[in-house]
Structure 1
Amino acid sequence: MGTTQLAPGANVAALRKGRGWSQAYLARKAAVSVSLLSKIEVGDRALTPAVAATLGRAMSLTMAEVLGRAPVAQDDEARLSELRSAIRDYDLPGQQRMEEGAIVAGLVAAGRHRDTADVARLLRMLPGLLRAATAHAYAANTAQGWAALAEVYSTVYWLAARHRWMDLAELAVARQQWAAEQKPNPLAVAVAVRDRAGTYLNFGDCETGLVLIDRAVSAAQTALSGTDRDVAVGILSLRGMTLAGRLDDKREAAREAERHMRAAEAASSYFERDLDLHGLTFGPQNTLTHRLATCVDLGRPQEALALTDNLPAVLEGLPATRVAPTHINAARAQLDTGDRDGALENLGIAWEAAPQMARIHPMGQEVFRVLASLHKRSNPQLLKLSKLSGIAL
């Protein structure tokens, strides 16, 4: 979006210095080594989500605050303000009226912008779509109308979470759950819980997020059947897998992650290919990308890389919002195993697949910063990514 920002590791240094703390003091409070903290700050090591959460607790900040809020281009400030206004007016439907077909078309367009990670266009259309979906839900007062409104709020959450605008993300999931509960719709409720658990992930409170997931899985298994049950259990288990992989206790993390992996894989086994439903992608391909990411979070880079042998086939047909993070996770695993050239190649693929998303992706920023620090001389690919990311070499 045309503006620059500090990469997460550099943001840690800025936050620490702003408090007047030494590296030794922060390291002691966070129970990490001074050497690790120093390497993170200068860009010799990537700031992982788990360490970001630990440093956040030491500084009384959320993990999202440690990673740093993605900036908004000046031209988009007004649109973000309009979106916040539309969310405040959740129970004031206004006079804007749209037929159900127009709402569905709007959701399809929003889904297309989300899948291609065109966050700029998504931000431009969301305020109007949210107001229209709100008016329609009140006027129609059907399960479909309220589910459509919940889906718009889910997209707002996605946009906010990608930028670490956590106040907006929390408000969006609260409104999403409210909309999903206006008429009986267990699948919409499951999606809302999945997104709510995502806010706990971004705040670094993985334990509470897992409690929500387990409760929602039990509810979905009771209230749903067939494809809807498999999708609900699957998407909740994928979120559980990610939450578990970031628990502080790595033995418990591995055990819980494996439990959710098995549940997600069992649910995805009913689908030959991934499907799109209610703004979601679920199936065997997306499940594998989550396994890869969780292996990296668990500190198992070799296991993660073993899943990349046929990555083009795995990612075929998946949206850019899954393709880019998967290549970023592969790059992170390669960085952990010392394969700098492979990491740079995968990072370049991620940027090509979803440049707007890669620019604001915290791990994408961190992997690039470490690669730039480790390479003794720049090369054309580093220079290109430096320009795209806004991170100086």
Structure 2
Amino acid sequence: MEDEDSIGRRIAFYRKQRGLTQIALAQKASVSVSLLRKIEQGARDATPVLVAAVAKPLGVDVTVLNGQPYDREGPGRDRIHELIPAVRAMLNYWDLPPDLETPTRPADQLIIEAVAIAHLRQADRNVEALSRIPAVLLEITAALYATDVPSEQETLHDAAATVLHPALSILHATGYDDLATITAARITWVGDRWGSPLVAALAVHTRTSSMLRYGTYDVGLRLTERARADLATEGTDADALRMTGSLHLRSAILAARAGDADLAAQHITEARAITDRLPQDTDHLWRNLAFGPTNTGFHDVATAIELGDGPRALTLAEGLDVPATFARTRTAHHFMDLARAYLWQGRYDASLACLQRSRELAPQQTRHHPTTREVTRMLVRAHRHTNEPLARFTAWMTVN
């Protein structure tokens, strides 16, 4: 992977196109000139915080600077892109029923189908999941408008949320932020129709995914605070507590990206207090938030990395005992984070090993993530001599 394909090169291109000097862009983005210069030269990896900071004054989407969506053309075209037109068509149906050629299945069968799709996403089988989502969600939507039986409506709302959340996760991961934003709005619609505080909280959690990417951390923090206050009326219900904990973890990352270490630590502490009451790791299917001690530990490491504290992140990671049965996609993301921390410490072999571990766990997610590409590019730059494992990994990144 060459520097010509780096985020830094894209930043430099749009900066010059806008007629901005490095000093002017650094001032507008509130970053140091030396850091911006190193990133444009390819001597430093571009973090999500930096990319979000410069995207706004450049008037460019974050996905454009990241180069996403990846692999849309040529012999290495990713299969995921063939599925996007059907997703766009599906998202047009929400406030009116679609016309289907065949009758809809019963609600209890549709929820089974929805859960199966959620499991596919958790297993990193994104292409298979996204290929099934449009038809199933259209059927669920049609069924919702065809019944006035409260129990069936509740099951169908549950099924809709179960399908929409993995759809949003896959769309974000592959760089289709416009569709992910629409999908988040659909989750809000489901919550409003259902009247479920948990789905309302899930909608907030999904909305803040875009806020993390685009740097509106203060708005995200206010939204998550309000959502936690709304959930407090649910008392000590286990699902409400787990959702509250997940919102604390999201707030920790928002605070870390905003540079507020104390607030990030406070939210991690609040999440740990909930894990003391609910010590079992859980995968929530439609919530897909994998809350518990393990994910709280992952977020503790991630906040240190977001704050630029590589040594602390690696120390925290050493104390983690990750169950083999834990969600593969979340564990893979943890190893992607660690790859960046090891890179900063000059431990290049360990950094590559983390990327390789992430690939083993969740190859589709790993290949689509900007962190993988930035860290891999930096590792190629750091190795002056041939490194066969790195060469193989780079080849995997660039060819399907």
TM-score under structure 1 normalisation? Answer: 0.90
Is 1:232 aligned to residue 243 of structure 2?
Answer: yes
* Structure-1 residue corresponding to 2:177: 166
* Structure-2 residue corresponding to 1:343: 351
Q: In structure 1, give the amino acid aligned to 2:137.
A: L
The one of 301, 321, 334 equivalent to 2:310 is 301
* Structure-1 residue corresponding to 2:51: 52
Q: In structure 1, give the amino acid aligned to 2:312.
A: E
Is 1:201 aligned to residue 200 of structure 2?
Answer: no
* Structure-2 residue corresponding to 1:86: 90
**Is contact 2:52-2:214 (8 Å) kept?**
yes
* Structure-2 residue corresponding to 1:290: 299
> How far apart are the structure 1 equivalents of 2:170 and 2:23?
36
Q: Residue 240 of structure 1: CA displacement?
A: 0.8
> How far apart are the structure 1 equivalents of 2:195 and 2:233?
14
* Structure-1 residue corresponding to 2:25: 26
> How far apart are the structure 2 equivalents of 1:352 and 1:20?
44
**Is contact 2:83-2:130 (8 Å) kept?**
yes
Change (3 A) 1:357 1:9: farther
Comparing 15-24 with 234-243, greater Cα deviation is found at 15-24
Q: In structure 2, give the amino acid aligned to 1:15.
A: Y
Q: Residue 131 of structure 1: CA displacement?
A: 0.7
Deviations 1:303-335 (A, max 9, x none): 111122255x32522222111111111111111
Q: In structure 2, give the amino acid aligned to 1:39.
A: K
Change (3 A) 1:7 1:318: farther
Q: In structure 2, give the amino acid aligned to 1:125.
A: R
Deviant stretches of 4+, over 6 Å: none
Change (3 A) 1:318 1:12: farther
Is 1:179 aligned to residue 190 of structure 2?
Answer: yes
Comparing 116-125 with 213-222, greater Cα deviation is found at 116-125
> How far apart are the structure 2 equivalents of 1:132 and 1:239?
32
**Is contact 2:111-2:156 (8 Å) kept?**
no
Is 1:145 aligned to residue 156 of structure 2?
Answer: yes
Secondary structure, aligned partner of 2:283: strand
> How far apart are the structure 1 equivalents of 2:13 and 2:359?
26
Task: Please list, as runs of the form range in 1=range in 2, the aligned pairs for 1:233-272 lying within 5 A after superposition.
Answer: 233-247=244-258, 250=259, 253-272=260-279
Comparing 48-57 with 7-16, greater Cα deviation is found at 7-16
* Structure-1 residue corresponding to 2:138: 131
The one of 361, 366, 380 equivalent to 1:372 is 380
Change (3 A) 1:125 1:14: farther
Change (3 A) 1:175 1:50: same
Q: In structure 2, give the amino acid aligned to 1:283.
A: G
**Is contact 2:120-2:128 (8 Å) kept?**
yes
> How far apart are the structure 2 equivalents of 1:218 and 1:354?
35
> How far apart are the structure 2 equivalents of 1:159 and 1:23?
35
The one of 363, 380, 389 equivalent to 1:381 is 389
Task: Please list, as runs of the form range in 1=range in 2, the aligned pairs for 1:316-331 lying within 5 A after superposition.
Answer: 316-331=324-339
**Is contact 1:8-1:365 (8 Å) kept?**
no
Q: In structure 1, give the amino acid aligned to 2:278.
A: F
**Is contact 2:124-2:328 (8 Å) kept?**
yes
Is 1:276 aligned to residue 245 of structure 2?
Answer: no
**Is contact 2:63-2:69 (8 Å) kept?**
no
The one of 106, 109, 113 equivalent to 1:106 is 113
Deviations 1:340-382 (A, max 9, x none): 1211111111122211111111112111111111111131111
Q: How many residues align?
A: 382
Identical positions, percent: 31
Q: Residue 98 of structure 1: CA displacement?
A: 1.8
> How far apart are the structure 2 equivalents of 1:139 and 1:225?
35
> How far apart are the structure 1 equivalents of 2:304 and 2:179?
30
> How far apart are the structure 1 equivalents of 2:12 and 2:251?
31
Deviations 1:61-87 (A, max 9, x none): 344443232234475444211111111
> How far apart are the structure 2 equivalents of 1:18 and 1:99?
56
Q: Residue 386 of structure 1: CA displacement?
A: 0.7
Cα RMSD (Å) of the superposition?
Answer: 2.2
Structure 2: gaps of 5 or more residues: none
**Is contact 1:230-1:268 (8 Å) kept?**
no
* Structure-2 residue corresponding to 1:223: 234
**Is contact 2:122-2:328 (8 Å) kept?**
yes
> How far apart are the structure 1 equivalents of 2:138 and 2:221?
32
**Is contact 2:118-2:163 (8 Å) kept?**
no
Change (3 A) 1:318 1:7: farther
Q: Residue 208 of structure 1: CA displacement?
A: 0.2
* Structure-2 residue corresponding to 1:35: 34
Change (3 A) 1:173 1:310: same
* Structure-2 residue corresponding to 1:352: 360
Change (3 A) 1:289 1:75: closer
Q: Residue 124 of structure 1: CA displacement?
A: 1.0
